[in-house]
Structure 1
């Protein structure tokens, strides 16, 4: 069997999980950069929270994101975030900050990161 014809190494389940966690962490960094630029250009901000904000992405983590933009730009900001996440193959949980209860805001404010 030639070197080119040899089967590639089989990854264990923990190895596949670690690779996916790394891919998602890299995707968060790339998406965060795009979101921050959009927010600066449009007078709003995105609030990243959860495992992505803590730098603790797992193989099954999503991007938790709050959208805080002027009302006239809210829909565009939401769509921009959805598109950026979809392109990066990064599952996302996106919601408007205005829809969040004070209790929820207080809970996630401890680790959120403002982008914008």
Structure 2
């Protein structure tokens, strides 16, 4: 059952990311990827915190499937490289700092929220 949840969740998460990233211009896409990764970090923090209240199959389906498909390190990496390649080094560094900083902060907030709920 876990494999099915991961597969369905991965498809759903990937389609959600594709839909959001496709809804913005090429210039705005790196910022959408930042938002997607931060939102995914928030959600994963929440899932981890309430994890004991979920079956292992559901927890894995959401964490690995949905959120694994939704967030993306490879696109983030290529976006940063693209900004450097285009001569926008400051923007590239800003994307890195905001992605990592906000991602960790969001994961912590999600975890705290999950602990309060669970």
Q: By the TM > 0.5 criterion, same fold?
A: no
Under a length normalisation based on structure 2, what TM-score does the superposition of the two structures give?
0.34
More strand by share: 1
Work out which structure has the larger RCO, using CA pairs closer than 8 Å and 6 or more positions apart in sequence: 2
More helix by share: 2
Larger Rg: 1
Under a length normalisation based on structure 1, what TM-score does the superposition of the two structures give?
0.35
